[in-house]
Amino acid sequence: MENQFPKKQILNEDGVVVDDVYKSMLDESLVKTLYTKMLRARLFDRKGVNLQRQGRIGTYVPFEGQEAAQIGSSMAMEEGDWMFPTYRDHGATLTFGHSLKNVLLYWKGRQEGCIPPEGKKIFPPAVPIASQLLHAAGAAWAEKMKGTDRASIVYFGDGATSEGDFHEGLNFASVFNIPVVFFNQNNGYAISIPVEKQMKSKTIAQKAVGYDIEGIRLDGNDVFAVYFHTKAAVEKARSGGGPTLIEAVTWRYGAHTTADDPSKYRDQDESMIRRETTDPLARLEKYMQQEGIWDSSWQKQLEQDITLEIEASVHEMENEQPPHVNDMFDHVFAENPWPIEDQKEAYALVRGE
């Protein structure tokens, strides 16, 4: 099956374009925008880890190493489209227009962190595994029934493909020819479980065959491949061509969350090797240098500007009131049933209220 679903690549590890079809599409503005968004995501992610270690936010979910997959795919979407992220896809949501402050508030435990800017159709991060695939299919179906050309993109990891919601979402989207892109980031592990221990299939893309939809496998560290192939899938969806399952093969350098220790189950030398050989930002930098559109002073100024933007958002986040314990009781049901009210009262007694 790997032969039937080869890993599509446009930019190789040495920063060389290996698919001539796309050379004319790589204008300087697009390349620099992709790099800027990826660098912004990486610096934000590193800040998130540092904030957690300093006790300034709660548990944080890092994604460093997956920037090409998240930024390339989110850049392929348009205003009015829907985005359904997991708890790890803040690189994608920030690129699609979420605010830095609100993403930080989410990790601070504030309900406002689930609210995107006005007009942005970004669902709250899905913590239950694979549940968001059903939401994405439903929203895309609604758009189709309304006669719009809006599409959905939904993110999920390799572990989600072992959940029933994954199969239900793909089946529903296939049957009703729904405009949705199922975007899988396969980093080889579902927390501590390697992909070969949770599925016998050699690829995730091949799972599309069972639903008679298109399946594509990409080099998920190649931002050009992710951007152009996702864009094609979205355009196909808009024009009535139906859903696509995309498998972006990538690698996350860090832990599953800041509460996890990956050294217990994953060879950390592998991450060091991949950082040196397949890093998505380093690959793009090599390309820009070879094409004569790289300027070290531009990069340094860009990094300074992004850092200032992130620090300003941290300041805004920390000026907000801390979350209240009642938030977890008051925003689930329209009217709380008695067990919830009992728990709420018990917490109030503990706090001496």
How far apart are the C-alpha atoms of 231 and 226, rounded to whole Å?
A: 8
- pLDDT at position 12 is 97
- pLDDT at position 37 is 98
How far apart are the C-alpha atoms of 230 and 129, rounded to whole Å?
A: 22
Instruction: List helix spans (H) across 253-335.
Output: 268-277, 280-291, 296-318, 327-330
pLDDT tens-place values along the chain, 353 residues long: 678 899 999 999 999 999 999 999 999 999 999 999 999 999 999 999 999 999 999 999 999 999 999 999 999 999 999 999 999 999 999 999 999 999 999 999 998 899 999 999 999 999 999 999 999 999 999 999 999 999 999 999 999 999 999 999 999 999 999 999 999 999 999 999 999 999 999 999 999 999 999 999 999 999 999 999 999 999 999 999 999 999 999 999 999 999 999 999 988 889 999 999 999 999 999 999 999 999 999 999 999 999 999 999 999 999 998 888 888 888 889 999 999 999 999 988 888 87
Selecting among 42, 217, 252, 283, the annotated active-site residue is 252
- The pair phi, psi for residue 121, each rounded to 5°, is -95, 75
How far apart are the C-alpha atoms of 247 and 34, rounded to whole Å?
A: 20
Q: How many CB atoms lie within 10 A of CB 194?
A: 12
Selecting among 53, 265, 315, 324, the annotated active-site residue is 265
Residue ranges covered by each domain of the chain: 7-322, 323-353
How far apart are the C-alpha atoms of 309 and 100, rounded to whole Å?
A: 9
- pLDDT at position 275 is 92
- Yes or no: say if 75 and 32 are a contact pair by the CB < 8 Å rule: no
The domain 7-322: what is its CATH number? Answer: 3.40.50.970
Selecting among 256, 266, 283, 287, the annotated active-site residue is 256
- pLDDT at position 324 is 84
Q: What is the largest CA-CA distance in the chain?
A: 69
- pLDDT at position 1 is 66
Where are the extended beta strands (E) located within the chain?
A: 7-8, 82-84, 121-122, 152-157, 180-186, 189-190, 193-194, 214-219, 244-249
How far apart are the C-alpha atoms of 125 and 296, rounded to whole Å?
A: 35
In the annotation, is 256 catalytic? yes
In the annotation, is 265 catalytic? yes
In the annotation, is 274 catalytic? no
